[in-house]
Amino acid sequence: MVLNTVTYEKGEGIGIITLNRPKSMNAINREFIRELDQLFDEIARDDEVSAVIIAGSEKIFCAGADIKEVGKIRSPMQAHLFVTNVQLVFNKIERLDKPVIAAVSGLALGGGCELALACDIRIAAENAVFGQPEIKIGVIPGAGGTQRLPRLIGLGRAKELLFIGDTIDAQEAYRIGLVNKVVSVQALMSETKKIAIKLTKRPPIALKLTKTVVNEGINMDLRSALALEARCFEILFSTEDQKEGMKAFIEKRKPIFKGK
């Protein structure tokens, strides 16, 4: 696969996607979305990849939508086509049956913040800056910001960020629960990889079902969500990994999971 807007490498069970539009501040355009879409289809089929990291450069994770391209939209129908394509890809990231970690250094604004929100875990460098500034140019977030942000940090804090459009730094993002951890710029990738490696050691089927239950259950009433949880719990007792995990615990050794 030829990639122009991102780079991709894999090793130790981890796929690393690096946003690569330096002249455009890693801004989101149609080519970027198309390549990300194809790449996540490939990752979904790749049994050698158990966890994914999305990163940018040291100064810019992603500055949002490419205004040079979006600014040429002249009708609601064109806007619909653009924003639904972005949503489809971000939804694909969120629903991937493997954990996805955003390693955020520098600016994560607008669609860049929304890309991080679509990931399961967010690790921020000390220089990270987050924001949904769309209101300042007369639009609203269209790639999940109005929906994922309140679910993550609560209605009040999300409305403040969405209504005013100001940015917050890494420490504030950590305080309100937008990111899981803040580390130095130099340590960002090594710390993110440590988490990814831990995830590759977990039983794949149980990890997949955990992500499914959390993502689907949050949109259900409690009784339905608990029924889904119970069903997935039951299903895991048909796997070899469940038997190996419990046997290893009793024998006081590390389990060897095979994804079966």
The beta-strand segments (E) located in the chain are 6-11, 14-19, 51-55, 60-62, 100-104, 107-109, 121-125, 129-131, 168-169, 181-183
The pLDDT value recorded for residue 71 is 85
Distance CA 18, CA 13 (A): 16
Q: How far is CA 54 from CA 103, 161, 166, 188, 258, in A?
A: 6, 23, 24, 12, 25
Give the model's pLDDT for residue 31. Answer: 95
Is CATH 1.10.12.10 the classification given to domain 204-250? yes
User: Which residues are marked as active site?
Assistant: 114, 134
Domains 6-200 and 204-250 share a fold: no
Which one-letter DSSP state was computed for residue 9? Answer: E
Note the pLDDT tens digit of each residue in 163-193: 999 999 999 999 999 999 999 999 999 999 9
Mean pLDDT, range 29-35, rounded to an integer: 95
Q: Is the pLDDT of residue 206 over 80?
A: yes
pTM value? Answer: 0.94
pLDDT at 74: 87
Residues 47-88: tens digit of each pLDDT: 999 999 999 999 999 999 998 888 888 899 999 999 999 999
Q: Where are the domains of the chain?
A: 6-200, 204-250
Mean per-residue pLDDT, 1-16: 94
In tens, the pLDDT along 128-170 reads 999 999 999 999 999 999 999 999 999 999 999 999 999 999 9
Give the Cα separation of 244 and 169 in Å (integer). 44
Q: How is domain 6-200 classified at the architecture level of CATH?
A: Alpha-Beta Complex (3.90)
